[in-house]
């Protein structure tokens, strides 16, 4: 899945690194030099002070932010399972264990094309054979054989199936074995795989194509699953265009096209995208009228003149569960409970910062709501050093090359060029990572599963 021609990070003098270290971060470095850093604690660190009003809220360390998002999803009412036809269950989690509704196989079955034989050979061969799908054939008597196809029901009193390549008929039409067909050979006995009532899969199993096949084999027409949560995406910003080239200070909306499939890969169901502009009333209306379980907003998280998200959340009495995260990019991201069973994820407007919010807050929230298992955390050594933020975690796009992760250029908050060719984001702790030092990796949903598979 690694794209060819990917540009990886240069050494320290990289232009993107320079862009990464904005004024705020430079100030943070100075403050760190003065020994005033607060590490990864919850108190607002000095880096925020230059932007911060006097009583600035507390930001949340990155690992805790993810836990809070997962916990928020668990705290809501239990989501009602639904029974859906098999075809609609792909990618959902089983809300009940999958219990066999039948023995498998449900009758003694021939495992090979050949003859069902009774007793030792040679055998006289019946005229009429047995094919898959035929109902109960006549029982065999000792010394008798019958042509049989793979998957056909073996006649009662069959002792073995002789494969076609192991049998020969003589001029009188009698069947001889070319090698021994021991008792039970090439017969799949009823119940070999499971008995009716056996648990085949536990509750919570993700429905894959293989699970669909097993469920069908075991007698299911529908599956009881955890439905995907509905998501409303509200794209804020008067400057955004939905088509054509950027002009007159306006830019293309990069998040409207990107979020629905990405959210789906994280467990979201029906997703609508609405463009709200920088209109506080429209934002208020859209949030209060939304019936979705999750609202995702983009932009407006900061404190600029048209950043209406915080005032709107205050106005509706939303509970801010996370208000800023110690992560770069994306630190103004937020998570709020807007109604008893509705959460709002506020993604920052800078596109890579929005990706950071997606992985930090939307991922654990949606995964938990949809009961999707979280991937096992894993680490790989980074091929090059990555400069750390003095206090915050950094998420840096990487490609996987052999047993190393290679940091990519173009990882500035407003850039998607790096992540568009990335396999994962590396979690770079405060202080940075040395060459060959292990870092946790967050796989991008398509990196392992492929585009067609992960968005079902």
Ligand X SMILES: Nc1nc2c(c(=O)[nH]1)N[C@H]1C(S)=C(S)[C@@H](COP(=O)(O)OP(=O)(O)OC[C@H]3O[C@@H](n4cnc5c(N)ncnc54)[C@H](O)[C@@H]3O)O[C@H]1N2
Binding-site ranges for ligand MOO (CB under 6 A): 328-331, 348, 350, 353, 413
| 227 or 300: CB nearest ligand X | 300
Question: Is residue 239 a contact point for ligand X (CB under 6 A)?
Answer: yes
Tell me if the bond preceding 87 is cis, omega within 30° of 0. no
| 310 or 331: CB nearest ligand MOO | 331
Q: Closest by alpha carbon to 297, among 230, 228, 368, 232?
A: 232
Collect all residues with Cβ–Cβ distance below 8 Å to 26 and sequence separation of at least 6: none
| 307 or 443: CB nearest ligand X | 307
Contact of 19 with 411, CB cutoff 8 Å? no
Question: Is residue 21 a contact point for ligand X (CB under 6 A)?
Answer: no
What is the smallest separation between the CB atom of 273 and ligand MOO, expressed in angstroms?
A: 21
| 267 or 412: CB nearest ligand X | 412
Question: Is residue 253 a contact point for ligand X (CB under 6 A)?
Answer: yes
What is the smallest separation between the CB atom of 392 and ligand MOO, expressed in angstroms?
A: 9
Instruction: Pick what 312 binds: ligand X, ligand MOO, none; C-beta below 5 to 8 Å, kind-dependent.
Output: none
What is the smallest separation between the CB atom of 433 and ligand X, expressed in angstroms?
A: 21
Integer Cα distance of 433 and 421 in angstroms: 21
| 227 or 329: CB nearest ligand MOO | 329
What is the smallest separation between the CB atom of 321 and ligand MOO, expressed in angstroms?
A: 19
| 166 or 410: CB nearest ligand MOO | 410
Integer Cα distance of 188 and 175 in angstroms: 22
DSSP assignments along 92-160, one per residue: PEESS-EE-SS-BSSS-EESSSEEEE-SSS-EEE-SS-B-TT---PPPP-TTEEEEE-TTPBPPTT--E
Q: Closest by alpha carbon to 366, among 80, 73, 77, 95?
A: 73
Q: Which of residues 290-319 bind ligand X (CB under 6 A)?
A: 298-304, 307
- Which of 91, 269, 348, 364 touches ligand X (CB under 6 A)? 348
Integer Cα distance of 326 and 332 in angstroms: 9
441 alpha-carbon distance from chain centroid: 15
- Which of 413, 418, 430, 445 touches ligand X (CB under 6 A)? 413
Nearest residue to ligand X, by Cβ distance, number only:
349
What is the smallest separation between the CB atom of 17 and ligand MOO, expressed in angstroms?
A: 13
- Which of 251, 272, 288, 378 touches ligand X (CB under 6 A)? 251
Integer Cα distance of 300 and 396 in angstroms: 23
Task: State the maximum Cα–Cα separation within the chain, in Å, rounded to a whole number.
Answer: 104
Q: What is the CA radius of gyration of the chain?
A: 31
Question: Is residue 351 a contact point for ligand X (CB under 6 A)?
Answer: yes
Query: Which range touches ligand X (CB under 6 A), out of 185-193, 248-256, 363-371, 394-402?
Result: 248-256
| 57 or 315: CB nearest ligand MOO | 57
- Give the DSSP letter of residue 324: -
- Give the DSSP letter of residue 86: G
Contact of 148 with 156, CB cutoff 8 Å? no
Antiparallel, parallel or unpaired: β 319-323 and 334-339:
antiparallel
What is the smallest separation between the CB atom of 301 and ligand X, expressed in angstroms?
A: 3
What is the smallest separation between the CB atom of 402 and ligand MOO, expressed in angstroms?
A: 31
Contact of 429 with 389, CB cutoff 8 Å? no
Contact of 346 with 301, CB cutoff 8 Å? yes
| 1 or 306: CB nearest ligand X | 306
Tell me if the bond preceding 122 is cis, omega within 30° of 0. yes
What is the smallest separation between the CB atom of 330 and ligand MOO, expressed in angstroms?
A: 4
| 51 or 434: CB nearest ligand X | 51
- Cα-Cα-Cα-Cα torsion 60, 64, 65, 66, nearest 10 degrees, comes to 170
What is the smallest separation between the CB atom of 276 and ligand X, expressed in angstroms?
A: 11
What is the smallest separation between the CB atom of 230 and ligand X, expressed in angstroms?
A: 21
| 100 or 358: CB nearest ligand X | 358
Instruction: Pick what 287 binds: ligand X, ligand MOO, none; C-beta below 5 to 8 Å, kind-dependent.
Output: none
- Which of 6, 345, 353, 382 touches ligand X (CB under 6 A)? 353
Integer Cα distance of 216 and 225 in angstroms: 15
CB count in 10 Å sphere of residue 347: 30
Question: Is residue 176 a contact point for ligand X (CB under 6 A)?
Answer: no
Residue 323, SS3? strand
What is the smallest separation between the CB atom of 50 and ligand X, expressed in angstroms?
A: 8
| 27 or 385: CB nearest ligand X | 27
Residues that bind ligand X (CB under 6 A): 51, 235-237, 239-240, 251, 253-255, 298-304, 307, 329, 331-332, 348-351, 353, 413
């Amino acid at each position: 899945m690694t794209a060819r021609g990917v540009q990886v990070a240069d050494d320290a003098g990289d232009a993107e690194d320079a862009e990464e270290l904005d004024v705020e971060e430079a100030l943070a470095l100075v403050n760190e030099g003065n020994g005033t850093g607060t590490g990864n604690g919850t108190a607002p660190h000095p880096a925020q002070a230059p932007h911060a009003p006097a009583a600035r809220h507390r930001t949340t360390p990155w690992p805790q932010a993810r836990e809070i998002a997962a916990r928020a999803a668990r705290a809501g009412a239990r989501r009602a399972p639904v029974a859906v036809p098999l075809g609609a269950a792909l990618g959902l989690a089983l809300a009940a264990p999958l219990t066999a509704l039948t023995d498998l196989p449900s009758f003694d079955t021939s495992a090979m094309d050949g003859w069902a034989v009774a007793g030792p050979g040679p055998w006289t061969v019946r005229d009429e054979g047995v094919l898959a799908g035929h109902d109960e054939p006549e029982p065999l008597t000792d010394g008798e054989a019958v042509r049989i196809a793979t998957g056909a029901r073996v006649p009662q009193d069959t002792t073995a199936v002789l494969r076609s390549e192991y049998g020969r008929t003589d001029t009188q039409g009698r069947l001889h074995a070319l090698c021994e067909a021991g008792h039970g050979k090439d017969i799949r006995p009823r119940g070999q795989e499971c008995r009716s009532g056996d648990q085949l899969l536990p509750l919570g199993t993700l429905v894959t194509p293989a699970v669909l096949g097993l469920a069908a084999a075991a007698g299911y027409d529908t599956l009881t699953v955890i439905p995907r949560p509905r998501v409303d995406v509200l794209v804020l910003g008067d400057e955004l265009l939905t088509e054509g080239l950027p002009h007159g200070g306006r830019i293309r909306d990069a998040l409207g096209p990107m979020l629905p499939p990405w959210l789906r890969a994280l467990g979201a169901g029906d997703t609508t995208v609405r463009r709200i502009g920088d209109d506080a009333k429209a934002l208020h209306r859209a949030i209060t009228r939304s019936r979705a379980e999750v609202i995702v907003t983009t932009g407006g998280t900061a404190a600029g003149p048209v950043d209406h998200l915080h005032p709107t959340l205050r106005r509706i009495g939303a509970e801010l569960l996370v208000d800023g995260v110690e992560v770069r990019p994306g630190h103004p991201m937020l998570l709020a409970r807007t109604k008893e069973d509705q959460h709002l994820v506020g993604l920052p407007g800078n596109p890579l910062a929005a990706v950071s919010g997606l992985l930090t807050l939307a991922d654990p929230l949606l995964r938990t709501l949809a009961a999707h298992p979280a991937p096992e955390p894993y680490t790989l050594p980074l091929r090059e050093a990555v400069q750390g933020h003095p206090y915050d975690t950094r998420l840096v796009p990487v490609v996987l090359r052999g047993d190393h992760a290679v940091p990519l250029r173009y990882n500035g908050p407003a850039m998607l060029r790096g992540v568009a060719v990335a396999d994962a984001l590396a979690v770079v702790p405060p202080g940075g990572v040395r060459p060959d030092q292990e870092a946790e990796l967050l796989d991008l949903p398509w990196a392992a599963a492929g585009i067609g598979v992960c968005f079902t």
